[in-house]
Amino acid sequence: KIIFEKQWFYLDNAIGHIYGTTFEVTSGGNLQPKQEVEETTTETKEAGTDNRNIVDDGKSQKLTHDDIKALKDKGIKGQEIVQQLIENSTTFRDKTEFAQDKYIKKKKKKYEAVITIVKPSTRILSTMYYAREPGKINHMRYDTLAQMLTLGNIHAGNKMIVMETCAGLVLGAVMERMGGYGSIIQMYPGGGPVRAATSCFGFPKPFFDNLHEFPLSKVQSLLSGTFSTETLPADPEENALLEEESNGLGEEKQNSLQETEEEPAPEAPMDINPAEEHDTMDINAEDVEFKENKEKENKESVREKQIKQWERRKKLKEAAALLREKNADGLIVASKFHPTPLLLSLLEFVAPSRPFVVYCQYKEPLLDCYTKLRERGGVINLKLSETWLRNYQVLPDRSHPKLTMSGGGGYLLSGITVLLEKGSPDPRNSEALKMEEPSSKRCKLQELPC
């Protein structure tokens, strides 16, 4: 049983229909109405020309609230309720044709509950997340995500590095574009990658065979050559709760120091039902339960844990080996962290002549990032950009822009890597450098998650 837009229903009846089928909700189940709904023919095509004589006295609708409620309770079809409302509206005939259209549309929306079931895709999910959970994806508008996929030349066969804190939406988008060909290394902060949105895509199992993950906290050691898999990053409980995406499997998420062994981080929630609504759990109750179950589980699952840990180490080694080759085909960054330190480190793993794209909700960090990249060298064609999206209503004699969405969709910094020559900085960039402020007064970077 799921709830959607103040309606609850069971999905059982939907099975076996093709994607794109529209359903009408009855009391608790799904009916399958015809694709083409018969247009309600308003036989009397009477309409006014303007609203000079329409007075808003609040009495134009002869049906009362109670009447309408009674109609609903009888379980009468929404279509008929709309028809009733039209017939009982004294002003309907005086309205212009356009206004009549609008009136009908509005009432239909309210009384005719229809649901279309569609296949998940980047288009659908990125639109949905931007509308419903923009905070979880750092307010990345779907057109911005589209730019990233293109600017990053994401395609089958790539070896990509992805660093995101967008609930796994960006990862899913990259996976869709790669179609299971090539490999992805996901860099994650904290105890494990968040892939709540990724699981909504419904990717086939093989897509995950070449998906690796690597903890951000190990990047420095990997770059300096002191990396070992002996100490895995701990999985602080608060991290999982902060993300609100905790999968609630029976994994211990206690980071207690008395423990002799490290806890394995929870697997990404790939094997549980992809629920689109994440309920915030009652933390305290969970805690108590954890403690009770812990002792039992500890005895039972020590071996299991060891196996898991060994597997995790193996995976970590694989990811480390892939990164060490320093020949990735691109880098995608979209996170809540400051982009500059991420970029300066992660670009080391990218081959020359490959595109990289950084998303940030704000312009200023990217200005800083631009400057620092110029100083570092090894990149060309740096571009700071933003897209605006405008939707249109297109109807005969009634076409106009709907709403402008500007700002709030985030910014992108993109560029191409080139072979970094140790030595003097690019003289042709000196002009750009001259425009930057003197280094003595430069802002100090603090790696704080904002």
Partner 1 sequence: MSFVEYGDTIKDGDTAIVFLGHESMFPVKVQHGTVTQTKYGVIRHSTDLIGKKYGSKVTCSKGGWVFILHPTPELWTMNLPHRTQILYSTDISIITMMLELKPGSIVCESGTGSGSLSHALIRTVAPTGHLYTVEFHQQRAEKAREEFREHGVEHLVTVTNQDVCKNGFGVTNIADAVFLDIPSPWEAIGHAKSALKAEGGRICSFSPCIEQVQRTCLAMEEYGFTEINTLEILLRVYNVRTVSLQIPDLGKAAEDNSSTVFDSSSPSHQGSPCANLQQGTVQFKSGVPLREVVGHTGYLTFATKS
Contacting partner 1 within 27-56 (CB under 8 A): 35-36
- Asked if 10 interacts with partner 1 (CB under 8 A), we say no
Per CB under 8 A, contacts with partner 1 among 273-332 are 327, 329
Q: Please say which residue, 63 or 351, places its beta carbon nearer to partner 1.
A: 351
Cα-Cα-Cα-Cα torsion 285, 287, 291, 297, nearest 10 degrees, comes to: 100
Half-sphere exposure of 338 (CA within 13 A, CB side): 17
Residue 202 structure tokens: 């419904």
**Strand 355-360 to strand 400-405: parallel, antiparallel, or no bridges (unpaired)?**
unpaired
Q: Report the alpha-carbon distance of residue 63 to residue 357 in Å, rounded.
A: 58
Please, what is the minimum distance in Å from the beta carbon of residue 356 to partner 1? 12
Give the 3-state secondary structure of residue 133. Answer: coil
Please, what is the minimum distance in Å from the beta carbon of residue 148 to partner 1? 8
The phi and psi torsions of 96 (rounded to 5 degrees) equal: -70, 165
- The Cα-based distances of 303 to 171, 265, 293, 297, 316 in angstroms read 32, 16, 16, 11, 20
Query: What is the C-alpha R_g of the chain?
Result: 28
Q: Please say which residue, 172 or 269, places its beta carbon nearer to partner 1.
A: 172
Per CB under 8 A, contacts with partner 1 among 378-417 are 380-381, 383-396, 399, 401, 411, 416-417
- Asked if 257 interacts with partner 1 (CB under 8 A), we say no
Stretch that binds partner 1, among 39-47, 77-85, 297-305, 441-449 (CB under 8 A): 441-449
Q: How far apart are the first and last CA of the chain?
A: 38
Stretch that binds partner 1, among 3-11, 254-262, 310-318, 429-437 (CB under 8 A): 429-437
One residue of 143, 164, 213, 252 binding partner 1 per CB under 8 A: 143
Q: Report the alpha-carbon distance of residue 416 to residue 419 in Å, rounded.
A: 10
Please, what is the minimum distance in Å from the beta carbon of residue 146 to partner 1? 4
**What string marks each residue from 87 to 126 as x (binds partner 1 by CB under 8 A) or -?**
----------------------------------xxx--x
One residue of 61, 79, 83, 153 binding partner 1 per CB under 8 A: 153
**What string marks each residue from 327 to 366 as x (binds partner 1 by CB under 8 A) or -?**
x-x--------x------------xxxxx------xxxxx
Count of residues near partner 1 by CB under 8 A: 81
Angle at 448 between CA 340 and CA 144, to 5 degrees: 50
- Asked if 430 interacts with partner 1 (CB under 8 A), we say no
Please, what is the minimum distance in Å from the beta carbon of residue 7 to partner 1? 20
- The Cα-based distances of 154 to 178, 287, 297, 395 in angstroms read 7, 42, 43, 36
**Residue 4 per-residue DSSP state:** E
- Asked if 137 interacts with partner 1 (CB under 8 A), we say no
